[in-house]
Amino acid sequence: MAGLAATTVATALSVEQDSGYHYITPQKRNLIMMVSDGFGSASESMARGYVQQMDNKPYEWLSVLDKLYVGLSRTKSADTLVTDSAAGATVFSCGKKTYNGAIGVTSDEKPCGTVLEAAKDAGYTTALVVTSRITHATPAAFAAHVVERGMEELIAQQLVGNNTLGNKVDLMFGGGKCFFQPNSTPGSCRSDSMDVWALAKDSGYTSVSSRAEFDMLETSTALPLIGLFTQGHMSYNIDRNPTVEPSLTEMAMKALNILLEHTRDSPTGFFIMIEGSRIDMAGHDNDPTAHLHDIIEYWETVAAVQGFVDRHPNTAMVSTSDHETGGLTLGIDPEYVWHPRHMQGVKKSAEVICAELRQMLPDKRTGFAQNIVIPEYLGITNASNQSLAQIVNGAAKGEVECKHAVGHVVSKLAHLGWSTGGHTGADVGLYAYGKGTESLRGNIENTQVGEFLARYLEVDLDQITRRLENETTTQPGYVWARNLPSIVKREDRHSNSHDHGCNDDPLSHHIIDIYHQNYRL
């Protein structure tokens, strides 16, 4: 990976570009919302530090995101201080906080109109581009409404027009074809016989599912268009075969060029949500190198999008994260160091390594880990017996344990730490570019990001909410239950402190309310 920084911008800008400026009336505008799922400030520091060290960049070197930094976004959801991606995306799409697991519904489990739906209703052309399943939490929250994120069968149906509003996403690129295939198809994720891929075609969608078909797409390709290139999530960038799967940058630029062409003679522009989905999943795996590679790919996408905005000044771009994942720390006790070089030799993600290990007979794993995984896949030449045992034992325990074991072996050498295999409640970076984004400054609540999107496009989400009153939000046969709220709500009791008989106690003015019962802080 040496030389990675030097090729970042060049690679991004060498991806398919549009043919030039497109001058239009001042009223016409485009909005690009970018989500770096699970990407925290420490992750940006890690990637920057890696590039500086490996490519001998000066101390003052900035990544493309560093240059666009405008503030921080807070991340809590309606029911907990640590959000999940469903609530974290719904707050962007609807501008309203909701409970963890909610997709396009508010805390009362009722559908809320999204910025994508309102944009489509106002005449904008709309798109979703992701590296996860297209039915996963973030893309789903912009174009579907279900009470629990696991209802991906219903989400798939809603994405292709089987919903109250009809077709609302003009272009979709990503993974997750398995939820569009009937259960009779090998590799299907559905529990029923519904063929959603056929349903999409019946709804007018042009469909593609291979790299060759993707490459053949012209800017004039008919919309609506759906391209799903893997059965499940798309590969981590470290594992991606470029002859099989397009990169996030390639998908984003292809989508932008198609949207540009299709809105050339339209009085309205487009809205697109682009997600670097798998940054988050590498954080869950505590896999620092997969995390790094997907961050670098996201940087490339941001650079390409920034170039697009420069050429089309009626366009604005916002980038932020729904939350941080993994609780990454640069440095572990007791030494004040971390060593980026130990990620340089890693060739495969923990996900791919563990898939290979766990399909082997147990008595074959030690030899494979010792002779292949550690020296070839991880690039480690002096691994301890403890590291070998850690990987082999992790493989025996389970998929998650195996991925954490592999990730922790590399992390220990690099002196990186992880506080969790889940999310944290930390604030995340906020980045913006283009005219009209000046109001996004400082430390803001995540609701303000969603409010900005609607305000920039001048669309009415409330009227969409009213039309969604009878939307189906539960998947037949899916059993679910909401978790109890854990968030602490603080109330100022100055006005009636005497009623509590504690006006002389300074803590009496700060009471917490949980399920209508008062507790002191």
Give, in order, the Cα–Cα distances in Å from 351 to each of 137, 184, 274, 290, 356: 20, 27, 23, 9, 9
Lowest-confidence segment of 201-205, 355-359, 370-374, 489-493 by average pLDDT: 489-493
pLDDT tens per residue, range 312-346: 999 999 999 999 999 999 999 999 999 999 999 99
Say if residue 133 is exposed, middle or buried (CB neighbours under 10 Å; 0-12, 13-18, 19+).
Answer: buried
Residue 491 has pLDDT above 70, yes or no: no
SS3 content of the chain, % helix, strand, coil (to 5): 40, 15, 45
Sequence-distant (≥ 6) Cβ neighbours of residue 105 within 8 angstroms:
90, 98, 111, 112, 145, 146, 147, 473
pLDDT tens per residue, range 238-293: 999 999 999 999 999 999 999 999 999 999 999 999 999 999 999 999 999 999 99
Average pLDDT over residues 151-166: 97
Q: Give the rounded distance of the alpha carbon of 266 from its chain centre.
A: 30
What was the pLDDT predicted at 124? Answer: 98
Element (H, E) at 215: helix 211-216
411 token code pair: 């992390």
Residue 488 has pLDDT above 60, yes or no: no
Residue 188 has pLDDT above 50, yes or no: yes
pLDDT tens per residue, range 453-485: 999 999 999 999 999 999 999 999 999 988 777
pLDDT tens per residue, range 99-133: 999 999 999 999 999 999 999 999 999 999 999 99
pLDDT tens per residue, range 207-246: 999 999 999 999 999 999 999 999 999 999 999 999 999 9
Spatial distance between the Cα atoms of 393 and 376, rounded to a whole number of angstroms: 19
pLDDT tens per residue, range 299-315: 999 999 999 999 999 99
Element (H, E) at 17: none
Spatial distance between the Cα atoms of 353 and 347, rounded to a whole number of angstroms: 10
Q: What is the CA radius of gyration of the chain?
A: 23
Residue 509 has pLDDT above 70, yes or no: no
What was the pLDDT predicted at 521? Answer: 34
- Residue 251: closest CA among 128, 114, 405: 128
What was the pLDDT predicted at 19? Answer: 37
The chain-wide mean pLDDT, for the chain, equals 90
Beta bridge partners of 491: 511
114 token code pair: 């999204």
Residue 396 has pLDDT above 60, yes or no: yes
On the question of a cis peptide bond just before residue 224, with omega within 30 degrees of 0, the verdict is yes
Full DSSP string of 371-426:
IIIIIIIS--SS--HHHHHHHHHHHHH-HHHHHHHHHHHHHHHHTEEES-SSEE--
Average pLDDT over residues 161-169: 96
85 is catalytic: yes
Are the beta carbons of 123 and 465 closer than 8 angstroms? no
Q: Report the Cα–Cα distance between both ends of the chain, in Å, rounded.
A: 50
Catalytic-role residue among 43, 73, 77, 85: 85
Sequence-distant (≥ 6) Cβ neighbours of residue 401 within 8 angstroms:
393, 394, 395
Q: How many CA atoms lie within 13 A of 57 on its CB side?
A: 20
Average pLDDT over residues 73-94: 97
Residue 338 is given by DSSP the state -
Residue 520 has pLDDT above 80, yes or no: no
Taking phi over 0 as left and psi of -120 to 50 as alpha, with beta for the rest, 335 belongs to beta
Torsion of CA 195, 200, 201, 207, to 10 degrees: -100
Full DSSP string of 244-288:
TS--HHHHHHHHHHHHHHHTTT-SS-EEEEEE-THHHHHHHTT-H
If you search the block for the tokens 């590291």, which residue do you land on?
Answer: 387
Spatial distance between the Cα atoms of 256 and 279, rounded to a whole number of angstroms: 22
Average pLDDT over residues 42-66: 97
Helix (H, G, I), strand (E, B) or coil at 23: coil
Instruction: Determine the residue type at 205.
Output: Y
pLDDT tens per residue, range 35-52: 999 999 999 999 999 999
